[in-house]
Amino acid sequence: MEQNKEQNTAFKNYTLLVTCAASFLTPFMGSAINLAIPSIGDQFKTGAFLLSWVATSYILASAAFLVPFGRLADIVGRKKIFILGLAFFLLSSLLCGLSWSVEVLIAFRTLQGIGSAMIFGTGMAILTSVFPPRDRGKVLGINVSTVYVGLSLGPVLGGSLNHNFGWPSIFYLTCIIALLALLLAIFKLKGEWAGAKGETFDTAGAVLYAVGLVTFMYGISSVAESLWAKYLLVAGIIFMVLFVRHETRVKQPVLNLNLFSKNVTFAFSNLAALINYSATFAVGFLLSMHLQVVMGYDSQMAGLILLAQPVIMAALSPFAGRLSDRVEPRVVASWGMSITTLGLFILCFISKNMPIWLLITNLALLGTGFALFSSPNSNAVMGSVEKRFYGVASSTLGTMRLTGQATSMAVVTLLLAIYIGNVELSMASPDMLIKGSRIAFIVFTVICFGGVFASLARGNVNLKQS
């Protein structure tokens, strides 16, 4: 009996290790590449608009495929999709490093986003399947902390690698990490989890969802640059309406909309996540350009300055997760959203003369807000559904995160197109970049303020014990 208990504990620890290693990958990649954007622009002689798609293409592909892969994982097995995602992420990272033009890099970043969708659509669901409800907040807090460690090391390692070895080295380092995570998953992740085994996969719904989301988000972000963008925006809306109509008529949909209509906690927790990431993701992108283009720091120093935010996030996330096991998650998350709103409001006054100590202090404030929001909110989402919906719940939350990130980048892309235009980043006017950044931070502050009320509206969380 004692031996079985020890084996079960070891299995849980290995599962946590494997999922955390995978969870480290995608945020590390995202935050590291932000520091290399000016260098990529210099090498390929590319303007700010196209450069923004180096980040956006990855996020958009992840968002479009997360829900379909989450549903597929519930049917065929979460471990299978998880391992396939790691392998796909490894190959696409290698191809990104070998890119010979910015257009090719964007294409390979899209493939990398698809691999990311497989990982994020299953990782949290595997954790929730293995650990009992009483430990859910703790392990999700550790997992979120790992995400923030990736965000922490991204600017430092990314800035340093870019400064000393060139931007492709960031992708090569990611390949090594992905290979280690893949080997861990193959040899240490025992068993399989398929909460909807035997059910059918809604292919039509998956296609409508992916096409609708991509055309809608591309339309928003490109409306200032392309005549066709407005038509794509309308097409995206039509596809999403058709998706909702289709999902309400099929027996086993790719996304069970009843989770939103009949589960207030699930609906508002996901809405809060969408709002939070819409308001915060592009902060690192904007500040990276501000520090390098406006203030003249190299990528290595800019990375060290940006480190203040994710370090605080990584340190506080496990505490916030444990706290949400004891205190109502909506209370902790709402406080986090409020603190984040304050940090964004301060950035509305960003200027060339803003003291570095104030910027670093504010980044730490934002990190505190993110940490207090993210782990409790994840706990609320995963704790509000039955076990057979873990894959869908995990991928839905991931989709809210990625759609929010894509929305955040769409706002920035639109404002950069208006204030800077499609000129090379080295030729961009620092004053116009500051003006565009200020408008973006004003928009993000208003969005985040509304998110406080969405977070409070979810009500008390009734954790499922299944």
Per residue of the chain (466 residues), give pLDDT as tens: 444 555 566 667 777 777 777 778 877 777 777 777 778 877 887 776 677 778 778 878 887 887 788 777 777 777 788 888 889 899 998 998 888 888 888 889 989 888 888 887 676 677 777 776 666 667 766 776 777 677 667 777 777 788 788 888 888 888 888 888 888 888 777 766 656 666 777 788 888 888 888 888 777 766 666 677 778 888 888 888 888 888 788 777 777 777 777 777 788 888 888 888 888 878 888 888 888 888 878 777 887 787 787 778 777 877 777 776 677 777 788 888 899 999 999 999 988 888 889 999 999 999 888 888 877 787 777 777 776 666 667 767 777 877 787 778 778 877 877 777 666 666 667 788 888 888 989 999 998 898 888 777 765 555 444 4
- Distance, in Å, from the CA atom of 291 to the CA atom of 417, rounded to the nearest integer, reads 20
- Residues 316, 270, single domain; the answer is yes
- Residues 283, 159, single domain; the answer is yes
Vertex 161: Cα angle to 438 and 18 (nearest 5): 95
* Domain count for the chain: 2
- Residues 76, 184, single domain; the answer is yes
CB 194, CB 187: distance < 8 Å:
no
- Residues 185, 218, single domain; the answer is no
Distances (CA, A) of 365 to 13, 309, 404: 32, 7, 21
36 domain residue, yes or no: yes
- Residues 274, 414, single domain; the answer is yes
96 domain residue, yes or no: yes
pLDDT given for residue 341 in this prediction: 92
At residue 424, φ and ψ (nearest 5 deg) are: -60, 140
- Residues 356, 386, single domain; the answer is yes
Q: Which of 238, 253, 268 is the last residue of a domain?
A: 253
- Residues 345, 393, single domain; the answer is yes
CATH number at residue 62: 1.20.1250.20
- Residues 230, 258, single domain; the answer is no
Give exposure, 279-295, as e/b (b: 16+ Cβ within 10 Å). bbbbbbbbbbbbbbbbb
- Residues 220, 164, single domain; the answer is no
465 domain residue, yes or no: no
* Domain with 94 in it: 2-189+197-201+254-456
165 domain residue, yes or no: yes
Q: What is the pTM (predicted TM-score) of this model?
A: 0.71
- Residues 392, 303, single domain; the answer is yes
- Distance, in Å, from the CA atom of 464 to the CA atom of 383, rounded to the nearest integer, reads 5
- Contacts of the segment 3-9: beta carbons below 8 A, 24+ positions apart: none
pLDDT given for residue 339 in this prediction: 92
Q: Which stretch of DSSP H or E encloses residue 98?
A: none
CB 31, CB 284: distance < 8 Å:
yes
Strands (E), 108-225: none
- Residues 320, 249, single domain; the answer is no
pLDDT given for residue 346 in this prediction: 92
pLDDT given for residue 442 in this prediction: 92
Q: Which of 211, 227, 253 is the last residue of a domain?
A: 253
Q: Which stretch of DSSP H or E encloses residue 394?
A: helix 390-419
* Closest CA relative to residue 433, chosen from 33, 52, 15: 52
- Distance, in Å, from the CA atom of 46 to the CA atom of 3, rounded to the nearest integer, reads 60
CB 273, CB 377: distance < 8 Å:
yes
Can you say how many angstroms the Cα of residue 134 is from the centroid of all Cα atoms in its chain? Answer: 26
463 domain residue, yes or no: no
- Residues 274, 139, single domain; the answer is yes
Instruction: State the alpha helices, DSSP H only, in 189-228.
Output: 203-222
464 domain residue, yes or no: no
242 domain residue, yes or no: yes
Instruction: State the alpha helices, DSSP H only, in 45-101.
Output: 48-76, 78-97
- Distance, in Å, from the CA atom of 322 to the CA atom of 27, rounded to the nearest integer, reads 22
pLDDT given for residue 446 in this prediction: 92
Q: Is 426 exposed, middle or buried (0-12, 13-18, 19+ CB in 10 A)?
A: exposed
CB 336, CB 366: distance < 8 Å:
no
pLDDT given for residue 2 in this prediction: 47
Q: Which of 236, 253, 270 is the last residue of a domain?
A: 253
229 domain residue, yes or no: yes
* Closest CA relative to residue 308, chosen from 236, 360, 376, 356: 360
